[in-house]
Amino acid sequence: MRESLQREIESVKTLSIVGMCKNAGKTTVLNRLLELAPKGRVLGLTSIGRDGESVDAVTGTEKPGIFVREGTLIATAKDMLARSDVTQEILMNTGIPTPLGEVIVARARSAGNVQLAGPSITTQLKTVTDAFFALGADQAIIDGALGRKSLGARTVAEGVILCTGASYHASMEKTVRDTVNAFRILNLKKAETLPEASDAPLGDILKQHGEARVSGALTDSLVLPLLRSGALKNARLIVKDPSKVLLSAETLDKLDARGVSLETEEAAKPLCVTVNPVSAYGWKYDKDAFMRALTEALDVPVIDVKEEGYDQRQL
């Protein structure tokens, strides 16, 4: 890993790994982080969804296991503990239910592979990460499930690694475009000041004050009429966190063109983007072209995830 990036990743207390799609390379990223962690550093691991199984339960494709060191803390559903090959010390019951049983926090008392199936909502994740730190973890890592961009919320994590790859779509151009859009949303500016909340129609608030807080999701169907009416020209829109922004790239471009400042109350910091040019579904991209397109479009490190693992010179 590049030393500066490794230091930055290790500096955040909570880190989420968010995938643009299944088979984007999240587990490979996680394993590399576990491998590179300094000796004696205690990590706490959990997942939204299920991870660590040898065959993906949804796609049927082969997956790498999650290999942990002795001393690692894991939060996983009770049924998954029996499918892990580490010696486990059960530390606490969380009371958090999942389809695979209650989420249990355990410590690995030997090295080996584990399977993760953790909490599904933000408040539950906070409960688990708080437990990790109370038990001596230096960092909590959350492995994200398909489509859960809420992992970019500051209430969940301080830093985000965004994983993308050829499994997202057969068209490299579409994958690049949508990845850049996802990063753009994750990287929205944090609001320095917050306007007062109001129950008045959003258009009226904007026309009167030139800024507004949006309590729910920000969608194309909400924003486009405001653009057409002129209410959004040179205005400020503030959302709770990036997961509330469900805008297309075209609509984001229109907001930029009208001088609209789109901001968030809280957001995690995107640290890097990882790419896997090989699809689990039989196609692959030109690796160099894929890397070049994303590197030119993004202002964070872009790391190449090869099908067989990471290039030793990178993450």
179 located within any domain: yes
CB 165 within 8 Å of CB 26: no
Helices 172-186, 287-297: crossing angle, 10 deg rounding: 30
244 located within any domain: yes
Which residue type does 43 have? L
Report the alpha-carbon distance of residue 124 to residue 121 in Å, rounded: 5
Q: How many CA atoms lie within 13 A of 22 on its CB side?
A: 15
Q: What is the mean pLDDT of residues 21-42?
A: 90
If asked whether residues 139 and 70 sit together in one domain, one would say yes
**Could you please report the per-residue DSSP string of 15-80?**
EEEEESSTTSSHHHHHHHHHHHSPTT--EEEEESSEE--SB-TTT--B---EEE-TT-EEEEEHHH
Q: Which of 1-15, 25-39, 196-210, 270-284 has the lowest mean pLDDT?
A: 1-15
Phi, psi of 257 (to 5 degrees): -65, -30
If asked whether residues 127 and 12 sit together in one domain, one would say yes
Domain residues for 279? 3-187+268-309
Q: Which of 38-52, 83-97, 171-185, 222-236 has the lowest mean pLDDT?
A: 38-52
What is the number of structural domains in the chain? Answer: 2
If asked whether residues 161 and 277 sit together in one domain, one would say yes
If asked whether residues 63 and 180 sit together in one domain, one would say yes
If asked whether residues 286 and 139 sit together in one domain, one would say yes
- pLDDT at res. 308: 38
If asked whether residues 96 and 134 sit together in one domain, one would say yes
If asked whether residues 222 and 294 sit together in one domain, one would say no
315 located within any domain: no
pLDDT digits (tens, 9 = 90+) for 276-287: 999 989 999 999
If asked whether residues 234 and 281 sit together in one domain, one would say no
Domain at 148, CATH number: 3.40.50
Q: Which of 108-122, 134-148, 205-219 has the lowest mean pLDDT?
A: 134-148
If asked whether residues 165 and 17 sit together in one domain, one would say yes
276 located within any domain: yes
239 located within any domain: yes
- pLDDT at res. 235: 94
- pLDDT at res. 3: 75
Q: Mean pLDDT across the chain, nearest whole number? A: 87
If asked whether residues 155 and 298 sit together in one domain, one would say yes
If asked whether residues 259 and 273 sit together in one domain, one would say no
If asked whether residues 199 and 179 sit together in one domain, one would say no
Q: What is the mean pLDDT of residues 124-143?
A: 94
314 located within any domain: no
CB 261 within 8 Å of CB 236: yes
Q: What is the mean pLDDT of residues 33-60?
A: 76
173 located within any domain: yes
29 located within any domain: yes
Is residue 289 predicted with pLDDT exceeding 70? yes
